[in-house]
Amino acid sequence: MAMMAYDERRILEMLREDELSRRRAFESIVNNFSEQLYWQIRHMVLSHEDANDILQNTFIKAWTNIDSFMGYSRISTWLYRIAVNETLTFLNRQRTTVPLETDEEGELSIADRLESDPYFDGDLTERQLQEAIATLPDKQRLVFNMKYFNEMKYEEISEALGTSVGALKASFHIAVKKIEEYFNSID
């Protein structure tokens, strides 16, 4: 079976048809959005395995709640909301069980976790950028990643996060300043 081109209007129609059409529509959604959602999640959690798990959970939640999707926003916006919520839930759960910094017991630091990840192939600057981003609060890190890595417009981020454009601009600006300060502190 050939993969169908992504046409949001047609996908929405197919989601309201028979079971086979619904499955094909959802397959198209997964094929179209997997990579960008993966990278959005990955920039937040730093681990390939964790990002894959969260992505899978995102699509499971989307499939089980597809009937409640009313089409008031784009499918991508709806998926980003689910992915953001799944990612923040994971980070909150992880924060209570796994420390991020090196401690006396020898837990891995962010840098060590990046370097030990076989899927991370960045150079020193990329590693330092990821370390700087990891120091940001979750919501700020999320806004920075969506704007910087995904090149999303503030209006799109606003829809996905339910936050005003002005607040997002301020959050992004503060995140950039903190990252600059991080780089200045390691010189």
- The domain that holds 33 is classified in CATH as 1.10.1740.10
Domain count, the chain: 2
In a domain, 129, yes or no: no
Predicted TM-score (pTM) of the model is 0.74
In a domain, 38, yes or no: yes
Domain assignment of residue 33, yes or no: yes
Q: Is residue 123 part of a domain?
A: no
From CA 40, how far away is CA 79, in angstroms rounded? 11
Q: Yes or no: say if 87 and 44 are a contact pair by the CB < 8 Å rule.
A: yes
Domain boundary residue among 70, 98, 126?
Answer: 98
Mean pLDDT for 149-165 is 89
pLDDT over 60 at 115, yes or no: no
Tell me which residue range forms the domain holding 90: 10-98
Cα–Cα–Cα angle for 62, 175, 107, rounded to 5 degrees: 75
Does 106 map to a domain?
Answer: no
Q: Is residue 125 part of a domain?
A: no
Q: What is the pLDDT of residue 112?
A: 55
User: In this predicted model, what pLDDT tens digit does every residue of 18-45 receive, in sequence order?
Assistant: 999 999 999 999 999 999 999 999 988 8
